Amino acid sequence: MAPKGLDYEHLNENVKKVQYAVRGELYLRASELQKEGKKIIFTNVGNPHALGQKPLTFPRQVVALCQAPFLLDDPNVGLMFPADAIARAKHYLSLTSGGLGAYSDSRGIPGVRKEVAEFLLRRDGYPSDPELIFLTDGASKGVMQILNTIIRGPNDGILVPVPQYPLYSAAISLFGGTLVPYYLEETANWGLDVNDLRNAVSQAQFKGITVRAMVIINPGNPTGQCLSEANLSEILRFCYQEGLVLLGDEVYQQNIYQDERPFISSKKVLMDMGPPYSKEVQLVSFHTVSKGYWGECGQRGGYFEMTNIPPKSVDEIYKVASIALSPNVPAQIFMGLMVNPLKPGDVSYEQFIRESKGILESLRKRARIMTDGFNSCRNVVCNFTEGAMYSFPQIRLPPKAIEAAKSAGKVPDVFYCLKLLEATGISTVPGSGFGQKEGVFHLRTTILPAEEDMPAIMESFKKFNDGFMKQYEDTRGYSRM
């Protein structure tokens, strides 16, 4: 028989090459165990509502009214919804062309893009053009759109931090480009050294690869560090010298758990640098409704803002966005609500602040409990989670554990994480899914389990880890950085 289009052997090789550990072997095993009735703590994905976080009331009221506009005609609507939610629902409906059931412009609703631009002006102190803001189905789709536009083939390189969130490695292989790694330094709190970037570019050039873009994740996933202003300006200067587009993944900008290094956007640093940088460096920055105290992952809302991108390139990005007709319209309303929150004096303001502060303060405590918990374990060292939603401890595996993993046909950190899962139900992602230096092992867990469950989870981790170490330890050396 003639081969058929979807026969495995004839699939697009780029599709087959893609790896995505966040939903990989550990996740599949955890799902199996759950089916068998084992209680699983899913700390593999940064999905706050799945771990019990309650949605903020006000945005849900607004979107509920937008979804059911007939409620607005009900004489009792004022008994069911606060006046500010009713006003906001009417406002957003007036911005759509036919409510939530109608496609929007493929860049998103113009009125919401204007609200994003106003937010960026307030945040950074520099004007932002709504025409250069595209709304997307989560930040993921935006990142994929931009990478797809940049990558022409295997000789195009994208500088990506290692460890990194595997959206980047996966999308780069899907589009047939080449990932050029730059290593974050664990002993320097996952900082990055511009000299390493230069080396990475020259090594790539030596192999015939032209580096065209650089990704930063700030705050970092899985590493949790917040980049300083000085570091960001060094990076931007480097991008200027090398002619690279900077892709600034800033989805965790609200998730900050220390006061020394508040979030500062790449756009603000770039504009502060003045010409020639502010006029020349091409920057695309990404944001989402999935993170922060919103955690509305399932809504799939995001945006990207383009700076110094030539109009003809913007037109091409618009054209390709148009193939998918329109981003999610309800998610666009969430984005509008996120960037244009309630103000003091609004009826729902107090409740909104109470809810959002409660979430952030609790995340801050959980970041501390986790880091301290990991650091109290045998052969585990962990940098403090300064921001984002993850803890990324290094696990110093004894040589015997590495041998045992090899004979089980597993990568050592996968072996450790599988044992952890079987023993405790804690479902993590092995560090190898994010990239790490040779011979060094990690795992990633989210800091999202409920605060009251945290001590028990850390205790159960410690019990497992210390037992594991005891089982495999001998007098020879360890894996270490």
Binding residues (CB under 6 A) for ligand DCS: these are 22, 45-47, 138-140, 165, 167, 217, 221, 249, 251, 288, 290, 297, 302
b/e map 325-339, b = 16+ CB within 10 Å: ebbbbbbbbbbbbbb
Residue 100: CB minimum distance to ligand DCS, A:
20
Record the tokens describing residue 34, joined without a space.
């759950």
Contact 313, 340 (CB under 8 A): no
Residue 45: CB minimum distance to ligand DCS, A:
4
Contact 262, 269 (CB under 8 A): no
Cα separation, 84 vs 92, in Å, equals: 12
Residue 112: CB minimum distance to ligand DCS, A:
16
For 191, which DSSP code? Answer: B
Handedness of CA 118, 214, 182, 167 (dihedral sign): positive
Nearer Cβ to ligand DCS (81/168): 168
Nearer Cβ to ligand DCS (371/428): 428
Residue 42: CB minimum distance to ligand DCS, A:
10
SS3 assignment, position 408: coil
Contact 382, 375 (CB under 8 A): yes
SS3 assignment, position 94: helix
Residue 290: CB minimum distance to ligand DCS, A:
3
Nearer Cβ to ligand DCS (45/273): 45
* Segment holding 224, helix H or strand E: none
Name the residue type at position 35.
K
Residue 383: CB minimum distance to ligand DCS, A:
17
Partners of 249 in beta bridges: 217, 286
Contact 41, 427 (CB under 8 A): yes
* Cα 319 to Cα 66, 145, 314, 316, 325, distances in angstroms: 28, 11, 9, 5, 10
SS3 assignment, position 187: helix
Nearer Cβ to ligand DCS (165/416): 165
What is the DSSP annotation of 335-388? HHHHHS---TTSTTHHHHHHHHHHHHHHHHHHHHHHHHHHHTSTTEE-----BS
Residue 438: CB minimum distance to ligand DCS, A:
23
Residues composing the chain = 481
Nearer Cβ to ligand DCS (283/402): 283
For 72, which DSSP code? Answer: G
Nearer Cβ to ligand DCS (201/217): 217
Handedness of CA 461, 462, 464, 469 (dihedral sign): positive
Nearer Cβ to ligand DCS (302/412): 302
Residue 185: CB minimum distance to ligand DCS, A:
19
Contact 251, 233 (CB under 8 A): no
Residue 139: CB minimum distance to ligand DCS, A:
3
Shortest-Cβ-distance residue relative to ligand DCS: 138
Nearer Cβ to ligand DCS (290/465): 290
Nearer Cβ to ligand DCS (44/231): 44
Residue 448: CB minimum distance to ligand DCS, A:
10
Nearer Cβ to ligand DCS (126/263): 263
